Amino acid sequence: MKTNFYIITMVIAIAFAAVSCGSGSSVDAALAKIEKAVDKVEKNKTSMTEADWEALEKELEQPMKVLSDALENNQVGAMKKLKITAAMMRYMAVLSEAALHTVTDELKVVMEETQLANEEMQEVFDSEEMKQAMQELQKAVEELQKLEQ
C-alpha cells in the first residue's frame, strides 16, 4: 500500500513538473531567442542595414509578446521575471546604442555636405567673376547716388 502511495505521489509530482515546465518552455524559448539575437546584434550593430533591423524586429515580435504576456499574467516566478526583464532591457539598450550610432553617422554626412557647400560658396565669392560683378554693382550704386543728388 505504501508503495502504491509513493508511486502515485511520484506520478503526480512528475505530471505537475511536466505541466509547470511545459508552460515555461515557450517563455524559455522566447527568452533564448531574444538573448541570442541581442548577442548577434552586439557583435554586428555597426554593420547592420535598415533591412536587417526590420527583419530582426519582425523576428523578435512574437518572442517579445510571449515574454510580455508572461510578465503581465504572472506566469513566471521571480527569478524568471528578472531574467526576462534583463533580456528586454539589454535588447532596448542595444537598439538605443545602434540608433545613436546611426544618428551620429547621419550627422557626420550632413556636416560633410555642409562643409562642401560652404567651400563651394566660398569659391564662388572668391571668384573673379563675383569680384567683377560686385565692382560693377558698386559703380551702379554710386551712379544712382549721383543722380539722386
Summarize pLDDT for 60-75 with one digit per residue, the tens. Answer: 999 999 999 999 998 9
Residue 64 to residue 76: CA distance in whole angstroms: 15
Is the model's pLDDT at 145 over the cut of 50? yes
Q: How many residues does the chain have?
A: 149
CA proximity to 57, closest of 95, 83, 100, 103: 95
127: alpha, beta or left? (left if phi > 0; alpha if psi -120 to 50): beta
Q: So what's the pLDDT on residue 19?
A: 44
Q: So what's the pLDDT on residue 91?
A: 86
The set of cell numbers assigned to 103 is 544618428
Average pLDDT over residues 23-49: 85
Identify the domain containing residue 115 by its residue range: 2-148
Residue 62 to residue 27: CA distance in whole angstroms: 11
Mean pLDDT in the chain? 82
- The single-letter code of the amino acid at 41 is V
Q: So what's the pLDDT on residue 21?
A: 45
- The single-letter code of the amino acid at 54 is E
Residue 105 to residue 54: CA distance in whole angstroms: 19
Q: So what's the pLDDT on residue 100?
A: 83
- Our count of domains for the chain comes to 1
Question: Higher model confidence: residue 24 or residue 33?
Answer: 33
Average pLDDT over residues 79-97: 88
